[in-house]
Copies of this chain bind each other. A is one copy, B any other.
Amino acid sequence: MIHLDSDELLIAKNILDLKNASGSHSPSMFTLLENIPQINLKIDACFLSNPYATDLFIRYFEKELVKTNKLRDVLEFYPSQNQAIAQTISQVINMNNENIFVGNGAIEVIQAVMHNFISGNVIVNIPTFSSYYEFVKPGVEVIYNQLDKNNEYEINANQLIEFVNKNNGKNLIIINPNNPNGGYIKSNDLQFIISELSHLDNIILDESFIHFAYEDEHLNMVSFSEYFHLYSNLIIIKSMSKDFGIAGIRAGYGIMSKEKVEKLLQNGYLWNLNGLSEYFFKLYARPDFLKDYEQVRKKYIIDAQDFFKKLNEIPQIKIYSSFANFALIELIDGSSSSDFVSKMLIKYGIYSRTGNDKIGLEGQFVRISARSKTENETIISAIKNVFN
């Protein structure tokens, strides 16, 4: 079992204070380093992002912006308007631009959707990403569907449909793969759920982690967006931060009915992207970039799944099966998850995330993300040491 010495306890107290000040999210790495100089951060394993994709983006960025005069344009001038950037995205996802709402990160799309389209009640499977229930407007009832710990918090299609109907649900949130456990609903099951619930006002499907999931041995991903036109109540939300490794840039989009996009753009969201996110979306629509990206996506999946396998061999933890780029681990030796997070951070410079503040998680949980192959190895040996 993990124990902290008195010096570590003091720092752990600082970490906890910062964590509490950040609400139901982790304080950013920058905030952490500024406030606790004793911490020597080496790996941010709180952070859900493909580092190989960051390498790729930086390669393009340096070649095309830094080494030319174009960087200045990107910083100095106003970016294009929302629908001009939607037009760029429409080319790559094979969707009409009138169905695309571009966001300053997926979080802006979530906020816009929750504030403008969700009324009455909303069914949220828990544990899940907290912004979906935190961003509801006053007066909207959040109805929690507690996922079954014995089923590794996976969504069961029949249970969910029954729960929604029994509770007279008007709106439903599905995150696929789900955060924080990485559980994945296969596209057949998802189609079943969504077609059975076509009477709902809205089904929000968050595919922010879909690039890490696969249903065949070639690791091809299956986005539900190809079925979008069959379901008029469907809103698909996509973050680009995780799969493309560019959280600092803030880029995301939502796919929704033309009427919904029009309503959002009618009195707002005109210039909500920045020069770098516009540059990113132009890359996203380019076959040369996408071909390179596909390689780093698959490389990362292979390394991540290998990381999960090695985590699974550590006897003091139970790992939940994940099709995302993180693993939910349960400490089963009696250690507390905050002690684990503090010890890992103070002693090894590895930042991970406790599940303490996630409603619907019962037990001592830590979420830990897959990083590069060498970083994953460092994480594995640190965890082994922490328990010895």
A contacts with B, residue count (CB < 8 A)? 60
Q: Counting CB contacts under 8 A, is A317 at the interface?
A: no
Q: Report yes or no: B77 in contact with A248, Cβ–Cβ below 8 A.
A: yes
Q: Report yes or no: A80 in contact with B31, Cβ–Cβ below 8 A.
A: yes
Most chain B CB neighbours (cut-off 10 Å) among A78, A135, A270: A78
Shortest CB distance A281–B (Å): 12
Interface with B: A54-62, A210-218, A320-328, A358-366, which one? Answer: A54-62
Q: Counting CB contacts under 8 A, is A227 at the interface?
A: no
Knowing A28-B81, A28-B84 touch, does A75 contact B270 (C-beta < 8 A)? no
Q: Counting CB contacts under 8 A, is A249 at the interface?
A: yes
- Whole-angstrom CA separation of A57 from B74 in the bound complex: 13
Q: Counting CB contacts under 8 A, is A269 at the interface?
A: yes
Interface with B: A148-156, A271-279, A338-346, which one? Answer: A271-279
Please give me the residue from chain B that is nearest to A79 by CB atom.
B248
- Chain B residue numbers with a CB within 8 Å of A278 are 30
Q: Report yes or no: B28 in contact with A248, Cβ–Cβ below 8 A.
A: no
- Chain B residue numbers with a CB within 8 Å of A79 are 28, 30, 248, 250
Please give me the residue from chain B that is nearest to A28 by CB atom.
B80
- Chain B residue numbers with a CB within 8 Å of A131 are 270
Mark A208-240 against chain B: 1 for CB-CB distance below 8 A, else 0: 000000000000000000000000000000000
- Whole-angstrom CA separation of A245 from B234 in the bound complex: 40
Q: Report yes or no: B136 in contact with A241, Cβ–Cβ below 8 A.
A: no
- Chain B residue numbers with a CB within 8 Å of A81 are 22, 25, 27-28, 31
Set B75, B76, B111: member contacting A269, Cβ < 8 A: B111
Most chain B CB neighbours (cut-off 10 Å) among A77, A80, A137, A269: A77
- Whole-angstrom CA separation of A27 from B87 in the bound complex: 14
- Chain B residue numbers with a CB within 8 Å of A74 are 248
Most chain B CB neighbours (cut-off 10 Å) among A66, A104, A278: A104
Other contacts beyond A29-B77, A29-B78, A107-B270: 7, CB < 8 A: A28-B81, A30-B278, A44-B77, A75-B248, A79-B250, A104-B274, A274-B277
